[in-house]
Structure 1
Amino acid sequence: MRITQGTFSYLPELSDQQITAQVDYCLDKGWALAIEYTDDPHPRNTYWEMFGPPMFDLRDAAGVMRELANCRQTFPQHYIRMTAFDSSMGVESLVAAFIVNRPDKEPGFRLVRHEDAGRKIRYSIESYAVQAQPEGSRY
Structure 2
Amino acid sequence: MRITQGCFSFLPDLSDSQIGAQIHYCLNQGWAVALEYTDDPHPRNTYWSMWGLPMFDLADPAGVMQELQACREANPGHYIRVNAFDSTKGWETVRMSFIVQRPPSEPGFRLVRQETGGRNLRYTLESYAVGAGTEGARYAG
Fold agreement, TM-score > 0.5: yes
Alignment partner of 1:114 is 2:114: yes
Of all paired residues, the percent bearing the same amino acid is 66
Output the aligned Cα RMSD: 1.4
Counterpart in the other structure of 2:98: 98
User: Which 5+ residue runs of structure 2 have no aligned equivalent?
Assistant: none
Moved over 4 A (4+): none
Counterpart in the other structure of 2:67: 67
1:70 partner SS: helix
Q: Deviations over 1:22-72 (max 9, x none)?
A: 001001101000000000011111010000000001110111100000000
Counterpart in the other structure of 2:28: 28
The CA distance in 1 between the partners of 2:47 and 2:40, in whole Å, is 10
8 Å contact kept, 2:39–2:136: no
The CA distance in 1 between the partners of 2:47 and 2:136, in whole Å, is 20
User: Which 5+ residue runs of structure 1 have no aligned equivalent?
Assistant: none
8 Å contact kept, 2:77–2:102: yes
TM-score (norm 1): 0.94
The CA distance in 2 between the partners of 1:132 and 1:27, in whole Å, is 38
The CA distance in 1 between the partners of 2:41 and 2:116, in whole Å, is 27
1:110 partner SS: strand
Letter in 1 for 2:42: H
Counterpart in the other structure of 1:39: 39
Q: State the aligned residue count.
A: 139
Mean Cα deviation higher: 100-109 or 110-119: 110-119
TM-score (norm 2): 0.92
Letter in 2 for 1:48: W
Mean Cα deviation higher: 52-61 or 123-132: 123-132
Alignment partner of 1:134 is 2:134: yes
For residue 88 of structure 1, report the CA deviation from its aligned partner: 1.4
2:55 partner SS: coil
Letter in 2 for 1:126: E
Q: Deviations over 1:84-129 (max 9, x none)?
A: 0011117731101000000001121111011222232111111111
